[in-house]
Amino acid sequence: MKTRVSSLSRVVRPSRRIFLRGLAAGAATVVGLPLFDFMLDDHGEAHADGVAIPTRFGLWFFGNGVRLDSWTPTNTGSDWQPPAGGALEALVPLREHVSVVSGLSVMTPRHPHHSGMATVCSGGPHLKVDDVRDTIVSTFKYPSVDQIAAKYFQDQSPTPYRSLEAAVTRFRGTDEGTTFQYLSHNGSVGGETNVNPSEESPHAFWDRLFNQGDAEPLVKKARARVLDSVGAQIRSLEPKLGARDKQRLDQHLTSITELEDRLAAPIAECSKPGDPGEYPDLGTNEQMTKKNAVMSDLMTLALACGLTQSFSIQYATCGSGAVFWMVGATDGQHYMNHTEPAPHEKQHLAVRFSMEQLAYFLGRMKDTSEGAGNLLDHSSILVCTEHAEGWTHSQDDMPMLICGKGGGRLRGNVHHRDVGGNTTRALLTALRGAGLPLADFGYEAGYTSSPLGELEG
């Protein structure tokens, strides 16, 4: 067999200075850093050339709301305390990096799941697709906040990936539109569905990010030329199309351009972690803890290596039917919310378990040193869900967290309660925490010009 283009692109670079051990085992792992320590100034807070360590932005989503009486901290202000046995107990050790926001309301026209999902992730209403039937299928009208940050970062200092999307649990809604299937959206101008799908396979995520090797320069140049020609084909087709299809081709062009730019981007100095493999169900039980650990590890490494500056983790979908078997649940979470009698103990335990999974990810970020601090110091991560409580579809008193120190822009360790305030206040604050110079944010009824000052450093 001759060597061909796809194999030419698999010349594996020699290992550099980063190590990730025990990845698949889920044991304690050590992440070393490639880039920053020898390139930093004396204070360890900026590169030697004065360029600040970048702040990462993240969106971490879980589905079906919480049980408010076990979620909401018992005090406001600093040193927040969860109620005894509360859902947030696993985050207490990370409290310096975690602020809780409670009381906020979804301001856009209400619809079970759809409006909550679109509004807490994008700051604007959902969009019903093809509005000719009395049944709801929706997408996001406006981009999710990870894409707002991605665009800003890419304009400032491009990374190889504009953004990265990962998923943990496997349930996807099938008949209510992209709102029930995906987290990261690019917005919709004319009803097109424009999403950034999340990778849910640990092996595929690893293969995409760390196993492609590097192609020979002439092959990369040729592949870039091919992509450039595809771009020209897209541009010549656009004038023949209607407005909606033009939008769809614009996204195709954006995607092709991103691939082309990546071929010209400097190679990230990452060494290759081991293949994490897959985590198939045991019986019918999903291995959520292990999948969460390995996806968290891979995302942390990708962020540390500078593969991207903006990310999203779809721990579970809006209206998720994931079965939290480890807390004794036998039905999917959405159905369980509609059938479990008060006091909704299994839902409480499912949320508590989910926050332990979040704590693993945040802990991994915090354990990754960067300059004088760690990766979580240089991140701003919005954590949200589409309802306050699933059994009523309520969208008041929405559960939200803002994690990370935002490179000093976020205080951490605050419980801020604003009853009836606009949920977009939290989005605006998280984006500002990542360094976006925004005085206001949101769309239509979701608009706000009022960040949560108490959370800002």
Partner 1 sequence: MGFAFRSALLVALAATAACVGEIGDPADGGPASVADVPSAPTLHRLTAIQLENSYRDLLGATLDVPADLPADDTLYGFTSIAAASSTISSVDAEKYEKAAYAVLDQVWADDAWRVALVGCDSTSTSEGCVRAFLITFTERAWRRPVTTKEIDALADLGGEIAADLGDETALELVLASVLQSPSFVFRVEVGEPMPLRRDGLRRYTSYEMASRISFLITDAPPDEELLEAARNGDLLDVDLLDAQARRLVDDPRARPTLVRFFRDFMQIGTLDHLDKSPEQFPAFSPTLGVSMRTEIERMFESVVFDEERDFRTLFTTRETFVDEELARVYGIEGVTGPEWVPVTLPDDGKRGGLLTTAGFLAMNAQKTRTSPTHRGRFIRVNLLCDDIPPPPAGVNTTLPDPAPGSETTLRERLEQHRKDPTCANCHDKMDPLGFAFEEFDAIGAYRTEEDNGLAIDSSTDLDGTPVANGVEMGKLVAKLPAVGACVARRFYEHAGGHLARSGEEVAVATLVDAFAASDYDFKTLVVSMVKNDGFRYAMPEKAEGSK
80-119: contacts with partner 1 (CB under 8 A): 110-112, 115
Q: Judged by CB under 8 A, does residue 157 bind partner 1?
A: no
Pairing of strands 310-314, 56-61: parallel
With tokens 């977009």, the residue in question is: 424
Size of interface with partner 1, in residues (CB under 8 A)? 87
Question: 111 is written with which tokens?
Answer: 């619809």
Q: Judged by CB under 8 A, does residue 49 bind partner 1?
A: no
Among 55, 193, 300, 423, binds partner 1 (CB under 8 A): 193
What Å distances lie between residue 451 and 385, 429, 442, CA to CA?
20, 5, 11
Pairing of strands 373-374, 369-370: antiparallel
Report the residue number, 115 or 314, with the smaller CB distance to partner 1.
115
Report the distance separating Cα 127 and Cα 141, nearest Å. 5
With tokens 């976006």, the residue in question is: 436
**Which of 60-68, 130-138, 151-159, 357-365 is the region at the interface with partner 1 (rule: CB under 8 A)?**
130-138
Q: Judged by CB under 8 A, does residue 340 bind partner 1?
A: yes
**414-417, strands of its sheet edge to edge:** 77-78, 414-417, 98-102, 400-403, 379-384, 56-61, 310-314, 164-167
**Which of 19-27, 95-103, 125-133, 361-369 is the region at the interface with partner 1 (rule: CB under 8 A)?**
125-133
**47 - beta bridge partners?**
40
Q: Judged by CB under 8 A, does residue 130 bind partner 1?
A: yes
Report the residue number, 76 or 254, with the smaller CB distance to partner 1.
254
Q: Judged by CB under 8 A, does residue 221 bind partner 1?
A: yes
Closest CB 279 distance from partner 1, rounded Å: 15
Closest CB 347 distance from partner 1, rounded Å: 11
Closest CB 391 distance from partner 1, rounded Å: 5
Which string of b and e fits 125-151 if b means at least 16 CB within 10 Å? bbbbbeeeeeebbbbbbbbbbbbbbbb
Report the residue number, 47 or 110, with the smaller CB distance to partner 1.
110
Report the residue number, 97 or 334, with the smaller CB distance to partner 1.
334
Site for partner 1 in 389-418 (CB under 8 A): 391-395
Q: What is the DSSP string of 9-35?
A: TTBPPPP-S--B-STTTTS---B--SS
What Å distances lie between residue 255 and 161, 242, 259, 260, 319, CA to CA?
11, 20, 6, 9, 29
Report the residue number, 165 or 377, with the smaller CB distance to partner 1.
165
**Which of 29-37, 50-58, 85-93, 214-222 is the region at the interface with partner 1 (rule: CB under 8 A)?**
214-222
Site for partner 1 in 348-387 (CB under 8 A): none
Among 18, 66, 136, 398, binds partner 1 (CB under 8 A): 136
Report the distance separating Cα 171 and Cα 224, nearest Å. 36
Among 103, 120, 199, 383, binds partner 1 (CB under 8 A): 199
- Find the helix packing angle between 424-433 and 145-156, rounded to 10°: 20
Among 65, 177, 306, 451, binds partner 1 (CB under 8 A): 177
Cis omega (within 30 of 0) for bond into 160: no
**Which of 91-99, 151-159, 220-228, 352-360 is the region at the interface with partner 1 (rule: CB under 8 A)?**
220-228
Site for partner 1 in 1-40 (CB under 8 A): 1-2, 4-7, 9
Closest CB 385 distance from partner 1, rounded Å: 16
Report the distance separating Cα 111 and Cα 84, nearest Å. 33
Site for partner 1 in 248-307 (CB under 8 A): 248-249, 251-252, 254-256, 258-259, 281, 283-284
Report the residue number, 83 or 332, with the smaller CB distance to partner 1.
332
Report the distance separating Cα 296 and Cα 378, nearest Å. 16
**Which of 83-91, 241-249, 404-412, 421-429 is the region at the interface with partner 1 (rule: CB under 8 A)?**
241-249
127: three-class secondary structure by DSSP: strand
**Which of 94-102, 171-179, 303-311, 364-372 is the region at the interface with partner 1 (rule: CB under 8 A)?**
171-179
Question: 342 is written with which tokens?
Answer: 């008060």
Longest pairwise C-alpha distance within the chain: 68
Q: What is the DSSP string of 278-302?
A: ----BTTB--HHHHHHHHHHHHHHH
